[in-house]
Amino acid sequence: ETLGKNGLEDVPQDVRFPAEEEKILAYWDHIDAFQTSLKTSREEGRPEFTFYDGPPFATGMPHYGHILAGTIKDCITRYWHMNGFHVERKWGWDTHGLPVEYEIDQKLGIKSRDDVLKMTVAKYNAECRSVVMRYASEWKRVVRRLARWIDMENDYKTLDPTFMETVWWVCKQMFDKDLIYRGYKVMPYSTACSTPLSNFEAGQNYKDVSDPECVVSLPIIGSEPPASMLAWTTTPWTLPSNLALCVHPTMEYAYVEDVKTSAVYVLAVPRLVQLYKKESEYKVLKTVKGQELRGLKYEPLFNFFVERKGDVGFRVLCDEYVTADSGTGIVHQAPAFGEDDYRVCLKEGVIFKGEHVPCPVDADGRFTEEVSDFQGQHVKEADKAILASLKASGRLVKSGAIKHSYPFCWRSDTPLIYKAVPSWFVKVETLKEKLLANNDKTYWVPDFVKEKRFHNWLAGARDWAISRNRFWGTPIPIWHSEDWEEVICVGSVDELEQLSGVRVNDLHKDSIDHITIPSKMGKGELRRVEEVFDCWFESGSMPYAQCHYPFENKEKFEKTFPADFIAEGLDQTRGWFYTLMVIGTALFDKPAFKNVIVNGLVLAEDGKKMSKRLKNYPDPELVINSHGADALRMYLINSPVVRGEELRFKEQGVKDVVRDVFLPWYNAYRFLIQVVRRLQSEEGVTVQGSGTGYIQSDNTMDQWIQAAAAGLLQFVQKEMQAYRLYTVVPRLLRFMEDLTNWYVKMNRKRLKGGAGVEEATVSIRVLLQVLLTLVRSMAPFTPMFCELLYMNLRNLLPESERKDSVHYLDFPQANLEAVNERMELKVRRMQVLIEKGRIARDKRGISLRTPIRAVTVICPNTELLQDIEDLKGYVLEELNVRSLSTTTEEGDMVTRSAAPDNTILGRRLGKAFKEVSAKIKTLTNAELMEYERKGQLDVCGSVLSGDDLKITRSFNGDTETVQAESYDEVLALFDVGLDESLRQEGAAREIVSRVQQMRKKAGLLPEDLIEVFYESSDESFLSILANHMDTIKSAIRVELLPRGRMPGYLQPLVILQSEEDVNGMKISLTITRACLHVSQQAADVSQGVSIEALQSAVMSLQLASAKKSMTSGAIQVAVDGKQVELQAGKHVFPSVAEMN
């Protein structure tokens, strides 16, 4: 029978949480829990809490980073829903951009832009469209399994025409505000993907690599004696495009004669080490400032661009960006391949604004015919050939390899180059002040990300390149005349139709590139620019595009913008967070979000990046199926990663959550159900609790746990309003520890009825309410486990308080009547003393089952001592100690010593800290007593107070039988000397423990009655029984009897037999099911029925109800058609011990 009164279900001892979670998920599906909760909150007219979810790509499987961010988002949105808000949660997919295109390029063997054009853009885009949702079903499965409530059916996709149309609208708004322009800039460039990247994309994937380095000579024209400038580079492939050299105007440069070759070189004095190991290897002829080298002409390394730039180029320029950190102090200038090169050459008139800068590298990173010697070679592969050519011409002075950090393409994992390309930009630099002001309006957890990382990024932000020379993306909606004098930006499908006469349903490149717009200036037909938007522009537009603003949902959007909450990883500081801020500021001069949680990175256990190739992390779904999704959720959100720090993922950590959190919590819940059912079955008392209200009780622990629950709720509400998961979860877990390891443990006997039915009922109601409080407050964090418990606990509530799901309930509010900080402090003091007592026992190897004689608490704080006295009974029981005394009198038993708080004093005292620290360690007991009394002390001229000193107390007496433990202002002395009576009592408790272990092994419930028999000839064991049978009987609820007294008819009822070794004593224990026992005196009333038949008849009775009947004095037994009345205590007995 699994159901008790009120439909209360029995709770099995063994539980597999992943299987229970699957049942909960099926139940949620059955009641459509998420949508029902949204429907209810909408119908109730709750205020909106707006959440934006950054769209992931569906071309890959979810990993721990996604699971972490998703868990944080789910916890926060569940919390605000339970706090009276309507919280829409809409899923989105990032479907455009490099991840998709790169996959298709690999699949179809596409190597260049021409390959795409040959197959047609329409076919290429069709291939892209076919894979964008490849893993959508896997994502849905994992998201559901993690219990994340988010709408994945009514999702948005960046490829949706409505989404793309809003992106066009965003572009037009910015274009009309003169925030978008076409420019020619040196950009990070992926040759594998044939497209420029933004600066924040380029910063996502740096690697330590080995590259060639070389020093080349550039003879100065007209120098006497002949001398050559020396330039150093780690990109030999840029040397064919060299147009100038750059020196620092104030740095000192030397003309040196090479002793070995007699050649004269010019390089920076601080960088002579680049070429020479010893001073004897060169002779300084003269030194000059960089400014004096300005304008010198030199012989080009190659002649590819002499005809174009010979009159203005191949000369020495000056700029302060040159450093003495590396190289020769002379930087070679290839303006098409370096941002500073471009800037300096433009400033100095080597190149001109608007001209096509010499850039002999095509879209795929291969040399063009302009550099005929290396035509067709990929730039990175051409390094060797270029160095060989320079060596042959006598211009290579030195070559080697250098290991340095270099940017790689985040998608193709190939080295980036820097390349001048025409791009479309957002004028971020003109928005800088507004961006910084809007950042100040936002709240970040952790705050250092906002105040340092994000602030610094905004402060140094450069114009954002939003175009990509690709195909699968939202086309940039700009049409232009051939001479670029007429440029228009289209902001909607309707506008395009009005201008062109063509109506389209799809806005992709292959659907609109053929559309032309008649010129209003008589310039023929306007054609669309080739580029598509960077997918970051699309994701930054998602607040507007997900609801097709402003074409639909205009009023609703404007009421709920900015978002109340977003969350992503630290890597999004320069990604999604940035693009949201830029576009929100550009459109509305508002940040797009109010509150943001930034999580750190989840690394493999070895501290390396998680890698599918290395297989250095466990499969998330296997972890979930082994330990449960709630355990994984709890592990992640109770880690440094929610403070923006790194987490080294360990599967053992998830397993530990099950052991340390869920099993104790589950066992406390199981115990509650057991004692409720026992009270119902044995006492006929039906328990009904409430999820609210204060339960009046004279019991200290009842008052304390209710106060702790109220304090917890006050704390959680305050911290969750501040989005500080990293403080909330540890506090919830601490309360769980208080509930399971303190309240339940210390009230176990009382809860089981040891102090009477009334006390049991009160304590059960307190435990029920506190468990319900915990279940409701933990529901946002461990939603399935809390649902599992609530589904049964709700049967103990009035019908009016029951809901179909714990997630339909409001978040619990602190009961102000229960708030009692003084009581919390009082119990905390008791807890610390008990914990110290356990440590003392461990140090002496004394089991908690063996009593110790006494504990003495010495402390000058009389309030603390009174608290201990008030809770003395709990201390005696928990520490199994016979007596406790408290005193403020130290006598000569206590000696103090002190250590400085290095952090506080080191910062405050500076150089004086060393002297003060040394003196602190020599302070006498009298001086430290004076410090405690006055609250301050002068040490070497510095006044110390408060927490400046850490004072430790030590015991001066006999430590052979006393274990001293010092903490705060307390010295606790534990008498650990054992005599035979203490050892015997400990052994008796150990015997009880063995019986209880056997019960557990047999799967018995607390209400299951048993008989226990022993077999042993050990005199020590028999002596323990003689002296401590009452203790044993009280614990196991039956007398321990010799095996010889076990009736034969009990043999079929034997449950378990075990050979035990208790402190060296050999014992055989047998457990049988309990039954009624018929005595020989029953023959007097048997009406001819045999004793054996009567015994068989009473054994078939339901024991609990039969025992109740016995309370009236007799029971009726039907045997062979005869009714036999047996008198309790004369003819029939409830145990063997009572019968004999």
- Which positions are annotated as active-site residues? 55, 94, 536, 572, 576, 609, 612
Look at the block and give the residue holding tokens 């037009």: 172
Q: Cis peptide leading into 300, omega within 30 of 0?
A: no
> 744 by DSSP, 3-state: which?
helix
Distance in angstroms (rounded) separating the CA atoms of residues 927 and 717: 45
Asked if 710 contacts 795 with a C-beta cutoff of 8 angstroms, the reply is: no
Intra-chain end-to-end CA distance of the chain, in Å? 34
Find the length of the chain. Answer: 1140
Structure tokens at 272: 């002579």
CA dist 372 to 240, 305, 368, 386, 828, Å? 10, 11, 7, 12, 82
SS (H, E, C) 656-716: HHHHHHHHHHHHHHHHHHHHHHHHHHHHCCCCCCCCCCCCCCCCHHHHHHHHHHHHHHHHH
Distance in angstroms (rounded) separating the CA atoms of residues 301 and 241: 9
Which residues lie below 8 Å from residue 1001, measured CB to CB, with a gap of 6+?
1056
CA dist 48 to 33, 91, 556, Å? 19, 17, 10
* Backbone phi and psi for residue 1056, each to the nearest 5 degrees, phi listed first: -155, 145
Distance in angstroms (rounded) separating the CA atoms of residues 948 and 903: 9
* Backbone phi and psi for residue 889, each to the nearest 5 degrees, phi listed first: -85, 120
Distance in angstroms (rounded) separating the CA atoms of residues 234 and 223: 28
Look at the block and give the residue holding tokens 């669309």: 528
* Backbone phi and psi for residue 1067, each to the nearest 5 degrees, phi listed first: -135, 140
Within 408-499, strands assigned E span 417-426, 443-445, 464-465, 467-468, 478-480, 487-489
Element (H, E) at 1126: strand 1122-1127
Distance in angstroms (rounded) separating the CA atoms of residues 592 and 585: 8
What DSSP string runs through 412-432? T--B-EEEEEEEEEE-GGGGH
Q: What is the largest CA-CA distance in the chain?
A: 142
**Residue 1054: closest CA among 1069, 1032, 1035:** 1069
Q: Is 471 exposed, middle or buried (0-12, 13-18, 19+ CB in 10 A)?
A: buried
Query: For residue 506, how many other CB atoms are within 10 A of its CB?
Result: 13
* Rg of the chain taking only CA atoms, in angstroms: 41
H helices within 90-223, ranges in order? 98-108, 113-119, 121-131, 136-145, 161-176, 199-202
* Backbone phi and psi for residue 907, each to the nearest 5 degrees, phi listed first: -70, -40
H helices within 935-1053, ranges in order? 980-1001, 1019-1036
Distance in angstroms (rounded) separating the CA atoms of residues 265 and 847: 83
Amino acid (1-letter code) at residue 696: Q
Query: For residue 44, how many other CB atoms are within 10 A of its CB?
Result: 9
Query: For residue 400, how many other CB atoms are within 10 A of its CB?
Result: 8
Under DSSP, the state recorded for 458 is: H
Which residues lie below 8 Å from residue 109, measured CB to CB, with a gap of 6+?
none
Asked if 75 contacts 642 with a C-beta cutoff of 8 angstroms, the reply is: no
Distance in angstroms (rounded) separating the CA atoms of residues 309 and 292: 23
